[in-house]
């Protein structure tokens, strides 16, 4: 055990930061034993240093000057928990330039500027760890970049946003429509006052970019991610999914194209069979399902958010980074050697569920089927529902390209027997 | 990228070894990019070098002298896939002494002599990685020793033996008794001709020792593990579990005692509620459920055995160890700083299911309840089943110490209204 402590600075002291600071203070001996050296918290940057945040900590540790703290040349580890793009980006880059390893939970920053940050870590020979940025405490990023490093990942399917999973679980359990389920999520504290980051899929898209970068050794940013939220998912869609033995989930999907030359990354609601391991992930839990050549199917399950789980992930990274400092080495960093192209969403293939409100007369199915056939989209199952003004066709296709399906739907809208294309949902297996 | 290759020797070339050798040969560029240096396979020790095993490999690589190969001073990595205690132990110790890092899938060796091996790795400043030894390709050991390093693990519950999980799944699905389900597993290749290592729980006990060592930073060997197999699980037990909304699984349970001063490690069949995430782990799949203070509940799921999944785990370790060599560092090793005591199984507490064949007459329940009460075992539920010669009492207790339950059962056997204690199973929540 090294006796000279490693110096750690904390940027930001909200829920997660306060929990990290508290555990550093109260579990010091245990963390030192695991890290191989004592870890000394030398400063905490907050907006208002006069407001003392953590009872166990010396008020003198708090400073309002984050730039000065992050730039100290004697630091070993900087933990960035401010969030957002600036000043977090500048602080993290400064810290790495001065030789500090960095631990962060900042998914927005990684999803936007990951490539620049990974390069800076490589250039300055420091660690950049960010387990907490995706799926909270679930140890996921380290397996992706280390344990599966000798394997080839084909596909990653993730439920990575707890708010939307809570809403979709409620819709599935109670038959509620989206607005009521959102109201319940807000009342229970699962959704923010402005829920857009969650329900429009922005949060999931940032996590998808991080997952895809690690899984495919390719630098992918959030700008490369196709995104649809869950606001258009109706109670009728959820009921249809149930009738088909399926459930609607907001999925982050990262997949290698069959020719292995490109990667598709998309976030959207999709139906999955109830027998799929992801189907049983309920409430605000997260899970990520991985398909790899040799390893086969894997799933990682746990709490995706919350102060304590996120702090657990940050502390795990702190211990790992600290051990590397003690051993004067680095961990397994990112790699972007594969440099695969990003496949446009139009080229991605999956199955589709299409709900059409139609005129109730003979020959409707033939007309509709002709449109699907004209675009090369093969139909797997059809159900004719209702009568009169309620008449509907519920169609599930075989696998088809997104662009072919889009062209099919566009043409269906101009077919006179189709009153409305009331729903289109992807179906993943 | 370093151009000088890292030198790797392979000891053993069975199913897993051949797959590892093949991937090293065919995926060399990809592995080199991930590792930061080319990895050169310099030798393969096999019993009969004249028998050329891998079409892609130069026959000159094969040698019959494992000791000479493992002792080469120019090696960076030795991969031990021979299995068993000797000569594997001597070869691994020799390799580390000569400065090689070691990757192994040898659960028997780690479970028996882990402490000695971890110390040797520490002493010689090399890595000892063994992800493949527990739960095949599921990235599990690395999260335990790294990602959760800043957290405190309370309990690990694992389904870590595919053969027994297959048998118990069949018994649950078809109502088959143990002998018929075992025969099916044997016919399908899930069970060995001599199934004792699986069905008597030896394999699961070895894995439990490895899991407990990592989870609790305490050196635990297989000799410390309490073990019961599944041969006594009857079709009636499985049916009773179903009636209670539960399922019988062979669990490896590693738990911190409430006073945090000792660790209990036990392997035995147990009933768990069907709503528990582990209940849906079917066939030969494996999963490990972890409860930690900050992270909360986590589950890792995937294939527990097979050549390709195991090779995936071995290759992941090879890449990690190779990166550490390139960076001239070491990974996070084992730590035994906690040095907790092993709690005798008699002190462990859980709930119990007790099935009693009884005489069909008034007052039986009162007599039986008196025996439970005398030993301080509180009853949660009782069901009186059948009449005449079929009369039975099905009792589920509240949490009680194993020793108290054992004393209760011993006394029940001498109560005249109790014809037989036909089944006792633990119930885990």
Mind telling me how many Å the CA of B284 is from chain A's nearest CA? 12
Among A8, A103, A140, A149, most B C-beta atoms within 10 A, so best to mutate, is A149
Angle at A291 between CA A290 and CA A294, to 5 degrees: 125
Minimum mean pLDDT range among A243-247, A410-414, B72-76, B140-144: B140-144
pLDDT average, residue stretch A300-318: 88
Cα A250 to Cα A201: distance, rounded to the nearest angstrom: 8
pLDDT average, residue stretch B100-112: 94
pLDDT tens profile B202-219: 999 999 999 998 899 888
Quick check: A299 and A290 in contact, CB under 8 A? yes
Residue A116 φ/ψ region, left for φ over 0, alpha for ψ in the -120 to 50 degree band, beta for the rest: alpha
Confidence grade of residue B65 (pLDDT, cut at 50, 70, 90): very high
Q: Do B294 and A137 touch (CB under 8 A)?
A: yes
pLDDT average, residue stretch B86-114: 95
Q: Do B142 and A142 touch (CB under 8 A)?
A: yes
Cα A62 to Cα A290: distance, rounded to the nearest angstrom: 42
Token pair belonging to A87: 């000043």
Quick check: A95 and A70 in contact, CB under 8 A? yes
- B257 CA to centre of own chain: 20
pLDDT of the residue at A92: 97
Q: Do B142 and A138 touch (CB under 8 A)?
A: no
Among A301, A312, A331, most B C-beta atoms within 10 A, so best to mutate, is A312
Helix, strand, or coil here: A135? coil
pLDDT of the residue at B335: 66
Q: Do B302 and A301 touch (CB under 8 A)?
A: no
Q: Is B86 exposed, middle or buried (0-12, 13-18, 19+ CB in 10 A)?
A: exposed
Mind telling me how many Å the CA of B33 is from chain A's nearest CA? 6
Neighboring chain A residues of B295 at a CB cutoff of 8 Å: 136-138, 302-303, 308-309, 312-313
Question: Could you say which of B19, B143, B337 has the minimum Cβ distance to residue A143?
Answer: B143
Mind telling me how many Å the CA of A237 is from chain B's nearest CA? 26
- B106 CA to centre of own chain: 12
Statement: residue A323 has pLDDT above 80: yes
Mind telling me how many Å the CA of B168 is from chain A's nearest CA? 19
Angle at B396 between CA B395 and CA B401, to 5 degrees: 120
Helix, strand, or coil here: B314? helix
Residue B207 designated active-site: yes
pLDDT of the residue at B320: 86
Q: Do B315 and A23 touch (CB under 8 A)?
A: no
Cα A237 to Cα A242: distance, rounded to the nearest angstrom: 9
Cα B15 to Cα B29: distance, rounded to the nearest angstrom: 23
Helix, strand, or coil here: B155? strand
pLDDT of the residue at B370: 94
CB atoms within 10 A of CB A50: 8
Q: Do B312 and A150 touch (CB under 8 A)?
A: yes
Q: Do B295 and A277 touch (CB under 8 A)?
A: no
Cα B17 to Cα B314: distance, rounded to the nearest angstrom: 9
**Domains defined along chain A, listed by start:** 6-137+307-326 (3.40.50.720), 142-303 (3.30.360.10), 347-427 (3.30.70.260)
pLDDT of the residue at A406: 95
| pTM (predicted TM-score) | 0.82
Question: Could you say which of A31, A147, A301 has the minimum Cβ distance to residue B131?
Answer: A147
Cα B38 to Cα B1: distance, rounded to the nearest angstrom: 9
Neighboring chain A residues of B320 at a CB cutoff of 8 Å: 146-147, 149, 332
Cα B394 to Cα B405: distance, rounded to the nearest angstrom: 15
Size of interface A-B (CB pairs under 8 A): 209
Kindly give the interhelix angle for A162-174 and A178-187, rounded to the nearest 10 degrees.
120
Statement: residue B379 has pLDDT above 80: yes
pLDDT of the residue at B52: 65
Q: Do B316 and A292 touch (CB under 8 A)?
A: no
ipTM for the predicted complex: 0.76
Q: Do A34 and B217 touch (CB under 8 A)?
A: yes
Residue A72 φ/ψ region, left for φ over 0, alpha for ψ in the -120 to 50 degree band, beta for the rest: beta
Q: If you count them, how many residues does chain A have?
A: 429
Question: Could you say which of A137, A300, A313 has the minimum Cβ distance to residue B300?
Answer: A300
Cα B6 to Cα B285: distance, rounded to the nearest angstrom: 35
Confidence grade of residue B289 (pLDDT, cut at 50, 70, 90): very high
Quick check: B199 and B182 in contact, CB under 8 A? yes
Neighboring chain A residues of B8 at a CB cutoff of 8 Å: none
- Residue of chain B nearest A311, judged by CA positions: B294
What value does the mean pLDDT of chain A take? 91
CB atoms within 10 A of CB B136: 31
Confidence grade of residue B35 (pLDDT, cut at 50, 70, 90): confident
Statement: residue A334 has pLDDT above 80: no
What own/partner pairs with CB < 8 Å and gap ≥ 24 does A86-94 have? A88/A11, A89/A113, A89/A117, A91/A11, A91/A66, A91/A67, A92/A117, A92/A128, A93/A117, A93/A120, A94/A67, A94/A70
Mind telling me how many Å the CA of B314 is from chain A's nearest CA? 8
pLDDT tens profile A153-188: 999 999 999 999 999 999 999 999 999 999 999 999
Among A38, A132, A147, most B C-beta atoms within 10 A, so best to mutate, is A147
Angle at A39 between CA A35 and CA A43, to 5 degrees: 150
Calculate the alpha carbon distances from B319 to A37, A129, A333, B41, B303 in Å. Answer: 26, 18, 12, 13, 21
Token pair belonging to A321: 């980074």
Helix, strand, or coil here: B181? helix
Quick check: B30 and B14 in contact, CB under 8 A? no
Sheet holding A128-129, edge to edge: A62-63, A39-45, A6-11, A77-80, A101-104, A128-129
What own/partner pairs with CB < 8 Å and gap ≥ 24 does B25-30 have? B25/B54, B25/B56, B25/B57, B26/B56, B27/A150, B27/A152, B30/A152
Catalytic residue among B7, B107, B207, B249: B207
Quick check: B359 and B365 in contact, CB under 8 A? no
Statement: residue B228 has pLDDT above 90: yes
Instruction: Tell me what percent of the residues of chain A surpass a pLDDT of 70.
Output: 97
pLDDT of the residue at A294: 84
Cα B274 to Cα B217: distance, rounded to the nearest angstrom: 31
Cα A312 to Cα B181: distance, rounded to the nearest angstrom: 42
* Residues with Cβ within 8 Å of residue A332, at least 6 apart in sequence: A145, A146, A149, B319, B320, B323
Instruction: Tell me what percent of the residues of chain B surpass a pLDDT of 90.
Output: 65
CB atoms within 10 A of CB B73: 8
- Residue of chain A nearest B137, judged by CA positions: A295
Cα B115 to Cα B103: distance, rounded to the nearest angstrom: 16
pLDDT tens profile A204-258: 999 999 999 889 988 899 999 999 999 999 999 999 999 989 999 999 999 999 8
Instruction: Tell me what percent of the residues of chain B surpass a pLDDT of 70.
Output: 97
Confidence grade of residue B336 (pLDDT, cut at 50, 70, 90): low
Cα B299 to Cα A287: distance, rounded to the nearest angstrom: 9
Kindly give the interhelix angle for A88-97 and A107-124, rounded to the nearest 10 degrees.
20
Q: Do B312 and A330 touch (CB under 8 A)?
A: no
Q: Is B274 exposed, middle or buried (0-12, 13-18, 19+ CB in 10 A)?
A: middle
pLDDT tens profile A102-112: 999 999 999 99
Helix, strand, or coil here: B114? helix
Confidence grade of residue A142 (pLDDT, cut at 50, 70, 90): confident
Residue burial A18-38, b: 16+ Cβ < 10 Å; e: rest = bbbbbbbeebeebbbbbbbbb
pLDDT of the residue at A147: 66
Cα A345 to Cα B97: distance, rounded to the nearest angstrom: 53
Neighboring chain B residues of A328 at a CB cutoff of 8 Å: 328-329
Residue B136 φ/ψ region, left for φ over 0, alpha for ψ in the -120 to 50 degree band, beta for the rest: left
| Cis peptide bond upstream of B375, omega within 30 | no
Integer distance in angstroms from the first to the last C-alpha of chain B?
A: 50
pLDDT of the residue at A276: 86
Q: What is the largest CA-CA distance in chain B?
A: 85
Helix, strand, or coil here: A139? coil
Confidence grade of residue B137 (pLDDT, cut at 50, 70, 90): confident
Neighboring chain A residues of B156 at a CB cutoff of 8 Å: none
Residue B54 φ/ψ region, left for φ over 0, alpha for ψ in the -120 to 50 degree band, beta for the rest: beta
- Residue of chain A nearest B317, judged by CA positions: A147
Cα A64 to Cα B297: distance, rounded to the nearest angstrom: 36
Neighboring chain A residues of B335 at a CB cutoff of 8 Å: 33-34
| Cis peptide bond upstream of A87, omega within 30 | yes
Question: Could you say which of B143, B217, B296 has the minimum Cβ distance to residue A139?
Answer: B143
Quick check: B375 and B410 in contact, CB under 8 A? no
- B63 CA to centre of own chain: 32
Minimum mean pLDDT range among A208-217, A263-272, B58-67, B302-311: B302-311
Question: Could you say which of B27, B138, B324 has the minimum Cβ distance to residue A329?
Answer: B324
Statement: residue B114 has pLDDT above 70: yes
Mind telling me how many Å the CA of A337 is from chain B's nearest CA? 6
Handedness of CA A58, A63, A66, A70 (dihedral sign): negative
Quick check: B198 and B164 in contact, CB under 8 A? yes
- Residue of chain B nearest A19, judged by CA positions: B294
pLDDT tens profile A45-72: 998 887 766 777 888 899 999 999 999 9
* Residues with Cβ within 8 Å of residue A276, at least 6 apart in sequence: A289, A429
Confidence grade of residue B46 (pLDDT, cut at 50, 70, 90): very high
**Between B338 and A378, whose confidence is greater?**
A378
Integer distance in angstroms from the first to the last C-alpha of chain A?
A: 50
Token pair belonging to B82: 């021979």
pLDDT average, residue stretch A272-295: 90
* Residues with Cβ within 8 Å of residue B295, at least 6 apart in sequence: A136, A137, A138, A302, A303, A308, A309, A312, A313, B148, B151
């Amino acid at each position: 055990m090294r006796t000279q402590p490693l110096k750690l600075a904390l940027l930001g002291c909200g829920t997660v930061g306060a929990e990290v600071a508290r555990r550093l203070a109260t579990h010091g001996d245990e963390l030192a034993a695991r890290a191989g050296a004592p870890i000394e918290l030398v400063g905490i940057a907050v907006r208002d240093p006069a407001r003392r945040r953590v009872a166990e900590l010396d008020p003198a540790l708090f400073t309002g000057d984050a730039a000065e703290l992050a730039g100290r040349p004697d630091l070993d580890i900087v933990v960035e928990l401010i969030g957002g793009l600036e000043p977090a980006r500048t602080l993290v880059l400064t810290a790495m330039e001065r030789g500090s390893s960095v631990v962060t939970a900042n998914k927005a920053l990684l999803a936007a500027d990951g490539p620049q940050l990974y390069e800076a870590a490589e250039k300055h020979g420091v660690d950049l760890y960010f387990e907490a940025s995706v799926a909270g405490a679930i140890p996921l990023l380290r397996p992706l970049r280390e344990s599966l490093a000798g394997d080839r990942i084909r596909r990653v399917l993730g439920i990575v946003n707890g708010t939307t999973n809570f809403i979709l679980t409620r819709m599935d359990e109670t038959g509620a429509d989206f607005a009521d389920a959102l109201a319940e999520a807000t009342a229970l504290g699962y959704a923010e006052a402005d829920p857009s980051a969650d329900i429009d899929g922005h949060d999931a898209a940032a996590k998808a970019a991080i997952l895809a970068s690690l899984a495919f050794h390719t630098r992918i940013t959030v700008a490369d991610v196709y995104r649809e939220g869950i606001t258009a998912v109706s109670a009728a869609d959820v009921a249809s999914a149930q009738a088909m033995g399926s459930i609607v989930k907001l999925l982050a999907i990262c997949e290698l194209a069959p020719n292995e030359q490109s990667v598709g990354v998309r976030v959207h609601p999709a139906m999955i069979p109830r027998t799929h391991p992801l189907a049983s992930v309920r409430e605000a839990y997260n899970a990520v399902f991985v398909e790899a050549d040799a390893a086969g199917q894997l799933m990682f399950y746990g709490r995706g958010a919350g102060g304590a789980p996120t702090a657990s992930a940050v502390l795990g990274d702190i211990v790992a980074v600290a051990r590397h400092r003690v051993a004067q080495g680095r961990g397994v960093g990112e790699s972007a050697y594969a440099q695969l192209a990003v496949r446009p969403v139009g080229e991605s293939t999956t199955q589709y569920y299409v709900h059409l409100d139609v005129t109730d007369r003979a020959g409707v199915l033939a007309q509709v089927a002709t449109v699907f056939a004209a675009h090369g989209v093969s139909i797997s199952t059809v159900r004719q529902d209702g009568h009169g003004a309620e008449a509907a066709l519920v169609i599930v296709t075989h696998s088809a390209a997104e662009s072919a399906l889009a062209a099919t739907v566009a043409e269906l809208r101009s077919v006179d027997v189709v009153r409305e294309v009331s729903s289109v949902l992807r179906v993943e297996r």
